[in-house]
């Protein structure tokens, strides 16, 4: 599996494409002498060649890579999920509902993001602990796009509101640049580079998280995401870099609902090997 993913990403990098828009470009509707409903179920296009006109282009889970596209003004996208992570040395961690609430703001191409507390339940050495994670909020914006390429950025902050050991113990900050490139009707690339300021309450350290996704569009509104991501200083200051490989499968159930499942592994012994499975659902309102 890991060798297969690595080969695919090597092909993607060799293509020298910056990254993906998950959906194909959609031309703006033709002018009409009388008002008529928009043919786009997620809201009117921002202009000609707007690539962000389907739910598959908007949803950002389950990959580390962020989608470039933002929610249309006066609309809301709710992403939810469940993840079960198993460590090689024993023990596992379950996180749910992995909620991300994305709200389209009156300024076109700008959205507000909110992550409410998540439930985190760990089992290590026979002891089970359950806590809630920190609350986070941020902004996301599409800087620009062409028929094949789009790019944007986002900022996100969390506050130490978590309980029972699930909090970072201090504020965290992330700044991300996102880009997407459509290779053809089947293949596309997406990439994100995130700069993090992390803390464990007692220490604070920087981390850089680059990631790359090869997207494959299949029949029947189904698609695959093959991703490689790295996390520098993964476990604290001056600690090694972790590598993670992910396979995600999604399917659109109509124009406003998407279901997904994913499997990921980290082979990096120095940061602790693990694997996880997850599934989720996203709803466009």
Residue 247 has a pLDDT of 98
Domains of the chain are: 2-23+41-180+194-284 (2.40.160)
Name the pLDDT band for 83 (thresholds 50, 70, 90): very high
Round to whole Å and give the CA distance between 165 and 237: 20
Per-residue pLDDT reduced to its tens digit, 87-133: 998 889 999 999 999 999 999 899 999 999 999 999 877 788 999 99
Read off the pLDDT of residues 128-157 as tens digits, 9 standing for 90 and up: 899 999 999 999 999 999 989 999 999 999
Q: How far apart are CA 26 and CA 282, in angstroms?
A: 22
What tokens does 53 get?
A: 């006109």
pLDDT digits (tens, 9 = 90+) for 219-260: 999 999 999 999 999 999 999 999 999 999 999 999 999 999
Query: pLDDT tens-digit profile of 23-70?
Result: 333 344 444 343 344 457 788 777 778 888 899 999 999 999 999 999
Segment 184-190 shows an average pLDDT of: 96
Q: Residue 2: what pLDDT? A: 40
Other C-beta atoms closer than 10 Å to the C-beta of 206 total: 12
The confidence score (pLDDT) of residue 19 equals: 33
CA angle 191, 193, 195 (to 5 degrees): 165
Banded model confidence at residue 267, pLDDT cuts 50, 70, 90: very high
pLDDT at 271 over 50: yes
pTM of the model: 0.84
The mean predicted confidence, pLDDT, of the chain is 87
For residue 4, what is the enclosing H or E element? Answer: helix 2-14
Q: Which pLDDT score is estimated for 216?
A: 97
- Tell me what pLDDT residue 32 has: 39
The span from the CA of 173 to the CA of 168, in Å, is: 12
Q: What pLDDT, on the 0 to 100 scale, is given for residue 9?
A: 41
Residue 16 has pLDDT above 70, yes or no: no
């Amino acid at each position: 599996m890991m060798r297969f993913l690595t080969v695919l990403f090597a092909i993607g990098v060799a293509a020298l494409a910056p990254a993906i828009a998950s959906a194909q470009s959609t031309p703006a509707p033709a002018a009409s002498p009388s008002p008529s409903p928009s043919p786009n179920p997620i809201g009117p296009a921002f202009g000609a060649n707007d690539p962000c006109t389907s739910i598959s282009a908007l949803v950002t889970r389950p990959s580390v890579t962020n989608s470039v596209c933002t929610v249309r003004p006066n609309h809301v996208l709710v992403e939810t999920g469940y993840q079960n992570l198993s460590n090689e040395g024993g023990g596992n961690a379950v996180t749910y509902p992995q909620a991300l609430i994305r709200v389209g703001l009156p300024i076109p191409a700008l959205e507000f993001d909110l992550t409410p507390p998540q439930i985190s339940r760990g089992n290590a050495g026979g002891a089970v602990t359950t806590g809630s994670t920190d609350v986070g909020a941020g902004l996301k914006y599409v800087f620009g796009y062409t028929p094949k390429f789009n790019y944007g950025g986002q900022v996100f902050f969390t506050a130490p509101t978590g309980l029972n050991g699930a909090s970072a113990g201090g504020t965290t900050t992330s700044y991300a640049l996102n880009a997407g490139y459509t290779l053809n009707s089947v293949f596309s690339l997406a990439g994100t580079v995130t700069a993090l300021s992390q803390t464990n309450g007692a220490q604070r350290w920087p981390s850089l998280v680059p990631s790359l996704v090869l997207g494959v569009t299949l029949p029947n509104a189904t698609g695959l995401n093959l991703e490689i991501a790295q996390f520098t200083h993964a476990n604290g200051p001056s600690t090694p870099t972790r590598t993670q490989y992910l396979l995600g499968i999604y399917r659109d159930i109509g124009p406003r609902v998407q279901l997904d499942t994913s499997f990921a592994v980290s082979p990096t012994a120095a940061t602790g090997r693990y694997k996880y499975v997850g599934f989720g659902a996203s709803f466009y309102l």
